[in-house]
A and B are shown apart, each in its own frame.
Chain A
Amino acid sequence: KAGVTQTPRYLIKTRGQQVTLSCSPISGHRSVSWYQQTPGQGLQFLFEYFSETQRNKGNFPGRFSGRQFSNSRSEMNVSTLELGDSALYLCASSLGGSGDFYEQYFGPGTRLTVT
């Protein structure tokens, strides 16, 4: 079974631009979560999508948004990029059922550099 794929793997953008990152979950997984990883803040939860609906959201400004398609693929968008948005953006997929156990499988990430 193919793992979680993220495209593109690397991206360089200029301050003020916007960017869209894509994540394809493992086949059969309906939940997709996004995390931001930076040296200063570590790994931080952005949001989770399940069945095309945002189910949970972290503490990030409204410039960060996402969506999920009917095939469970997800995209996240960052508008008006700031230097501090430079990070590794990780996507994780899981079956998405109820309960407290989250067996999340992570993709390789998209490394975004804002100049």
Chain B
Amino acid sequence: GEDVEQSLFLSVREGDSSVINCTYTDSSSTYLYWYKQEPGAGLQLLTYIFSNMDMKQDQRLTVLLNKKDKHLSLRIADTQTGDSAIYFCAENRDTGRRALTFGSGTRLQVQP
């Protein structure tokens, strides 16, 4: 099937904003998620958005959803070196299966 697509790499300077983009596949997905994975660790749920929302803000994180284009983005304000990690978007494509479909991940590198 089609993949959830993300760009592979993003480099920003400390203090700048980071925007990580994702194109998902299933317009019937009701929730879309952003996870963070640091080296040697599992996945940390950062935030999620319900499909009937356009935007969700959670402290330094802003999620934008364009349902028409199936485009999801995660903006991190005032990016810090501790934000360096791999970021995954995920959708609950087959809601009956209770399984998440993940993108390939975007590696965010924050330069001091």
A residues whose Cβ falls under 8 Å from a Cβ of B: 4, 31, 33, 42-43, 45, 48, 55-56, 58, 90, 92, 100-109
Bound-complex Cα distance A92 to B35 (A): 13
Instruction: Please give me the residue from chain A that is nearest to B6 by CB atom.
Output: A42
Please report the number of residue pairs spanning A and B whose Cβ atoms sit closer than 8 angstroms: 56
A58 to B95, CA, bound (A): 13
- Cβ-defined contact, A43 with B31, below 8 A: no
Whether the pair B30, A100 counts as a contact (CB closer than 8 A) is yes
- Complex interface: chain A residues within 8 A of B44 (CB): 106
Interface residues of B (CB under 8 A from A): 30-31, 35, 40-45, 48, 88, 90, 92, 95, 97-105
Contact of B104 among A42, A45, A103 (CB under 8 A): A42
In the assembly, what is the distance between CA of A93 and CA of B30, in Å?
A: 20
Within 8 Å CB of B45, what residues of A? Answer: 103-106
The dominant DSSP class at the B interface is strand
Task: Report yes or no: B31 in contact with A48, Cβ–Cβ below 8 A.
Answer: no
Residues of A within 8 A of B92 (CB): 100-102
Chain A CB within 10 Å, residue with most, of B48, B99, B101, B103: B99
Contact A106 B42 (CB under 8 A): yes
A48, A101, A103, A108: the one contacting B99 at CB < 8 Å is A48
Q: Is B41 in contact with A108, judged by CB distance below 8 angstroms?
A: yes
**Cβ-defined contact, A108 with B42, below 8 A:** yes
Contact residues in B for A42 (Cβ distance below 8 Å): 102-105
Q: Are A102 and B31 in contact (CB under 8 A)?
A: yes
Q: Are A109 and B99 in contact (CB under 8 A)?
A: no
Whether the pair B99, A33 counts as a contact (CB closer than 8 A) is: yes
Question: Contacts of A102 on B, CB cut-off 8 Å?
Answer: 31, 92, 98, 100
Q: With A and B bound together, what is the CA distance between A94 and B41 in angstroms?
A: 18
Q: Specify which of B30, B48, B98, B102 is in contact with A56 (CB 8 Å cutoff).
A: B98
Distance from B3 Cβ to chain A, minimum over Cβ atoms (Å): 8
